[in-house]
């Protein structure tokens, strides 16, 4: 299990930019057995750990008081322009209680239907919803696409071997990935052409709409007259 060192964070709110200026990332620790606490972690060390474990593997978080918490990297906010972490949520887990997570799928191998036949690989599902104890959470799940030999070949959720202790939270008959036949030039050209709209149809539709409005007005007028007579 990889380790991170967290220091108590005193600068809060807008002052958090001072933390980033000195090479750290503002963070918050919460979850099982801890009071919510503002902390900070070294940005370079965090980036390395996060790249290795993602949001589905456990991390040992060492605190200033000498205690250690087993956590998940629950959420990472990133700067949209410079693409680096600006805030992190650490969630302290209970080791004897199952967690729900979406595990990234990694597609391995080479599909013969794509390589030799020119098919198009269509990835339908990119993450697999699962349930497991914290110690059993996989970092990723591999999907071997080398079994796709012909057009319309598919791999279903039920075809994926799961690590021990991992339970699915998704229907096993759902398709994960498939191979489609390549589209012809005529099909591609047809997809690019704008739909043709007849001027006659537009005029006819406008006429019908006007007639409908007039009929509605007449009905309202007749109803009003009848009410007045009563």
Q: Is the pLDDT of residue 13 over 90?
A: no
Q: Is the pLDDT of residue 222 over 50?
A: no
Q: Which residues, at least 6 apart from 168, have a Cβ–Cβ distance to it below 8 Å?
A: 128, 129, 130, 131, 157, 162
Residues 32-77: tens digit of each pLDDT: 999 999 999 999 999 999 999 988 899 999 999 899 999 999 999 9
Q: Which architecture, in CATH terms, is 2-92?
A: Beta Barrel (2.40)
Q: Find out if CATH 2.170.120.20 is the number for domain 99-189.
A: yes
Are residues 46 and 79 in contact, defined by beta-carbon separation less than 8 angstroms? no
pLDDT of residue 225: 45
More confident residue, 226 or 98: 98
pTM of the shown model: 0.71
Q: Is the pLDDT of residue 224 over 90?
A: no
pLDDT of residue 219: 44
Domain positions in the chain: 2-92, 99-189, 195-229
């Amino acid at each position: 299990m990889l380790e991170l060192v967290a220091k108590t964070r005193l600068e809060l709110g807008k002052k958090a930019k001072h933390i980033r200026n000195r090479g750290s990332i503002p963070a918050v620790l919460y979850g099982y057995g801890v009071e919510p606490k503002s902390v900070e972690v070294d940005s370079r060390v965090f980036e390395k750990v996060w790249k290795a474990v993602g949001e589905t593997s456990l991390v040992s978080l060492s605190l200033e008081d000498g205690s250690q918490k087993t956590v998940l990297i629950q959420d990472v906010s990133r700067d949209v322009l410079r693409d680096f972490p600006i805030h992190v949520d650490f969630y302290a887990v209970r080791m004897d209680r199952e967690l729900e997570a979406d595990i990234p799928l990694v597609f391995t191998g080479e599909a013969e239907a794509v390589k030799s036949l020119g098919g198009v690989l269509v990835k339908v599902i990119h993450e697999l919803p699962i349930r497991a104890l914290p110690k059993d959470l996989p970092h990723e799940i591999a999907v071997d696409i080398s079994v796709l030999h012909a057009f319309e070949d598919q791999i279903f959720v039920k075809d994926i071997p799961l690590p021990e202790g991992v339970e699915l939270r998704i229907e096993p008959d759902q398709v994960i990935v498939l191979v489609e036949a390549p589209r012809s030039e005529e099909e591609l050209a047809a997809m690019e052409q704008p739909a043709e709209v007849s001027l006659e149809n537009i005029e006819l539709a406008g006429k019908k709409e006007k007639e409908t409005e007039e009929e509605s007005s007449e009905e309202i007028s007749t109803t009003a007259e009848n009410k007045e007579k009563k």
